[in-house]
Amino acid sequence: MTVLVLNGPNLGRLGVREPDVYGTATYADLVDRCEAVAKEAGVEVDVRQTDAEAEMIGWLHDAADAGSAVVLNAGAWTHTSVAVRDAASQLAAPLVEVHLSNVHAREAFRHTSYLSDIAAAVVVGMGIEGYAAAIRFLATT
Ligand code: DQA
């Protein structure tokens, strides 16, 4: 079983990007943590990041066709993109929505998600440990 871990815009800048909000762990740390947890959980993991919405939509189409489970941090697209939602809606395997920060404790525009109602689970505010929890959950489903 392969779990796709897909990250949207600005997440490649973790560690330098607003560390007071997103922590000091870098994107490379995030990838390492996902790979370590996947190994423990006995699944394969493929961790990717893009700042291009079309690329993200293509990855979601590929995951739908492959029947892969997805951990998705869509970043700002979470709050804006019907197109990313429509692509994620096509997934056959479970989707887990992850946010490093607790979006519900932040600006009002971050309280709306186009993904939460189509996700099997939502993890917010746990930093990169949220990805670990999501991968462990998907490994058991
Ligand atoms: C985020 C929260 C979003 O509101 C924001 O646009 C991001 C990161 C998070 O992981 O906390 O880019 O998805």
**Could you give the angle at which helices 129-140 and 27-41 cross, rounded to 10 degrees?**
30
73 Cβ below 6 A of ligand 1: yes
pLDDT tens for 67-125 read 999 999 999 999 999 999 999 999 999 999 999 999 999 999 999 999 999 999 999 99
What is the rounded distance in angstroms from the CA atom of residue 83 to the CA atom of residue 106? Answer: 24
Instruction: Tell me the catalytic residues.
Output: 22, 99
99 Cβ below 6 A of ligand 1: yes
Return the SS3 of 138: helix
pLDDT tens for 5-31 read 999 999 999 999 999 999 999 999 999
